[in-house]
Amino acid sequence: MKLLINGSNLSGGGGVQVALSFILESRKFPGNEYYILASDKLYEELKNEKFPSNYIFYSISLLHSNPIKKIVSIYKIKKIEKQIQPDSVFTIFGPAYWTPKSPHLVGFALGHLIYPESPYFKSITLKERIYWEAISLIKKYFFKKNSSFYHVETQDAKKRLAKYLNHNPEKIFVVSNTYNPYFDNFQVSETFILPPKDKNEYRLLLLSTYYSHKNFEIINKITEIFSANNIENIKFVVTINQNIFAAIFGAKNQYIINTGPIPANLCPQLYFECDALFLPTLVECFTANYPEAMKMKKPILTSDLPFAHGICGDAAIYFDPLKADDIVEKIVLLKNNPKLSKDLVEKGIERLKEFDNSAKRTKKYLEICNCISTK
């Protein structure tokens, strides 16, 4: 099978991690020809990896604010497709903003569009809500225009996407997300990412690129409560751009450590150096943070939302992501209860068995691409 893999529209975060995992694991399936369109961020992650001769990479990005540059990139992509004449095209996550001639599988992971009841929309201004209404209409148009086949990461997302696009559910495939292969091969590094811990210090990891729906800002309210109650031995570890960090938290906050963006191969080490996963997100379809934490045997503190319950089940402590006092209560509960932490980790290990590993996920993606190429 000639497969054109489109990652030209990936800017960072979970989309790049899924693409990276899929491309690395695809080396275990040598019977195909792989042609990969890689955005700058994806190309940066791939450039030091070794690939056999059945892989061809194109460094090309659709992430232009200038519409002329975006049109030029689309023209280049269409030209590449015409030269290759692939059996199918796989856009890791859409919308793709172009319509291939070949059968096209597009990933969908935009929770904003299918979870209108999310508390995120209660936390933003009227102007921002109008913006998201407009974005939803635009992206809906391109999802429908660019493809007839989609993949999502949960059954709930499948039902919601079928309704959102008014689309045949039989053409929407479910392939669960999972942790990156780097987690399977993890060995503790002698060089630590974080500074040495203070006595009895407890570290909560929020491993994410900055997006408004990730709810980083709630940490300010949490740390105000910490300060008012003389709680000094709990720290948040975040991984965002320093300029964004300064804009949200100020130049310095004694309760927060910012590592800056972390490459995928160092993520397991960062989990190792922390005590729990903290994810106060307001809307998602899926996040690999959950299976990553389970794999690294870390307890999970996260938002009390349907998608989170669907993924974590009883392997997490849930809180209201808009109420700092509730979050503080749950953090202190977990920190002071080693038995509870151990129980959550054990449940997470069992829960992890329900997810595909990265090799199985890659196999499913390839089977779908092969299947649609004959339709």
Asked whether residue 157 falls in the same domain as residue 36, the answer is yes
Asked whether residue 198 falls in the same domain as residue 335, the answer is yes
Which pair of tokens denotes residue 253? 């906050």
Asked whether residue 31 falls in the same domain as residue 144, the answer is yes
Which CATH number goes with the domain that contains 189?
Answer: 3.40.50.2000
For residue 42, the enclosing domain spans 2-178+356-372
Q: Per-residue pLDDT for the chain (375 aa), expressed as one digit of tens each?
A: 999 999 999 987 788 989 999 999 999 999 999 999 999 999 999 988 999 999 999 999 887 778 888 899 999 999 999 999 999 999 999 999 999 999 999 999 999 999 999 999 988 899 999 999 999 999 999 999 999 899 999 999 999 999 999 999 999 999 988 888 899 989 999 999 999 999 999 999 999 999 999 999 999 999 999 999 999 899 999 999 999 999 999 877 889 999 999 998 999 999 999 999 999 999 999 899 999 999 999 999 999 998 999 999 999 999 999 999 999 999 999 999 999 999 999 999 999 998 888 899 999 999 999 999 876
Which pair of tokens denotes residue 179? 């942790």
Asked whether residue 204 falls in the same domain as residue 306, the answer is yes
Would you say 220 and 236 are in contact if contact means Cβ atoms under 8 Å apart? no
Instruction: Name the domain count of the chain.
Output: 2
Would you say 201 and 171 are in contact if contact means Cβ atoms under 8 Å apart? no
Cα distances (angstroms) measured from residue 285 to each of 152, 173, 222, 249: 8, 14, 25, 27
Q: Containing H/E element for 302? A: strand 300-303
Cα distances (angstroms) measured from residue 121 to each of 118, 213, 225, 327: 6, 9, 25, 20
Asked whether residue 160 falls in the same domain as residue 245, the answer is no
CA dihedral 129, 243, 286, 28 (to 10 degrees): 140
Asked whether residue 222 falls in the same domain as residue 115, the answer is no
Asked whether residue 48 falls in the same domain as residue 109, the answer is yes
Asked whether residue 139 falls in the same domain as residue 232, the answer is no
pLDDT at 114: 95
Give the C-alpha separation, 358 to 375, whole Å. Answer: 26
CA angle 84, 3, 17 (to 5 degrees): 125
